[in-house]
Amino acid sequence: MVGSAGEDKLVKIWDAEVSSGEPTGVFSQHTAPVTWLAFNPSGTAVATGSRDKTINVFDLRSNKLIQHYPAHDGAITDVEYHPNGLFLLSASEDATIRIFDLRAGRLFFTMQGHEGPVRTVKWSPGADY
């Protein structure tokens, strides 16, 4: 699978093995340009972040929005799945980092400390940090 996040507010998913060049999924739920996209570890869902300050999670099997988070007070600059697929890490121009519990469907934890926008976040290689 290949995914793209665009200034046109669209998220598009392609099957790299299909030669038609047409996307297999198109999502238009964001109201501002989409700034980040991440596939979950099993490849069955994709999380997207946007300048509209929200995170969406789409199921790629049904091509439907399954979770929506009014996530930050600023544009989303990065989203990253935990290797177990149960948590989502996000960064924002609001200078915060947030962890979302995808099973419970809620914000789990907010980290502060930056004095300006946070551009990227990553889990440690062992996903302990």
**CA–CA gap between residue 73 and residue 119 (Å, rounded):** 14
**The residue to which tokens 């700034």 are assigned:** 35
Helices (H), 35-119: none
Asked if residue 19 has pLDDT above 80, the reply is no
72 neighbors 98 (Cβ within 8 angstroms): yes
Judged by DSSP in three states, 76 sits in: strand
Q: Of 26, 83, 88, which is closest to residue 57 (Cα–Cα)?
A: 88
Judged by DSSP in three states, 56 sits in: strand
Tell me the mean pLDDT in the region 16-45. Answer: 93
56 pLDDT band, cuts 50/70/90, is very high
What is the total residue count of the chain?
Answer: 129
pTM assigned to the model:
0.93
